[in-house]
Amino acid sequence: MIKHSWIIILLGLMTGCEHSDDSINAFITQVENQSRKEIAQLAPERPFSASIFRAQNDRSPFVLPAVAMIANQPRLKQDCWQPGQRSKTGPLEKFPMDKLHLRGVMGSKGKVSGLVQTPEGTVLKLQEGEYIGLNNGKVAQVTSQYILIKETLPDGLGCWQQRNVKLALK
């Protein structure tokens, strides 16, 4: 009996639903009517005229004219700070700073030294005044938590800027 009543209810629900898409068709027609726009007329095509290249009289087409080359050069500042010339001889100067890790610090007679690990796995002792990294980084301070390094970077216009970088314990 219960099965028959469920079947009758389902049949009643299914017959009560009629397929009507009048509102959808009206909406599509309305959107299509609103989206029609006028297309602007294009200007008539101009005829192409080729010029003859004479290699002995004109400049190479692959080289900028001298005026354009001068205009593209950045203006160099003449009155700015320049670092002194020095050779890179420190063992930690051949590695970028992001590849070096501070692994510890140790002290002796009031001087604190940092223990820096290279990408090769070697641990080297580093003191204040030594150089580290590719950008002429000079160790300014060694504390129990970090090493403060002053790096010298070119600004692209002939001058140099200094920035402070900390190599901290992790």
Task: Give CA–CA dist 105/92, Å, rounded.
Answer: 16
Highest mean pLDDT among 14-28, 43-57, 136-150: 136-150
Which positions ≥6 away from 167 have C-beta within 8 Å? 97, 100, 101, 102, 114, 116, 132, 146, 147, 149
Select the more confidently predicted residue: 58 or 2: 2
Given this model, what pLDDT does residue 159 score? 81
CATH architecture for the domain at 97-168: Roll (2.30)
Write down the domain spans for the chain: 97-168
Give the pair of three-digit tokens for residue 142.
């060694």
Does the pTM surpass 0.75? The reply is no
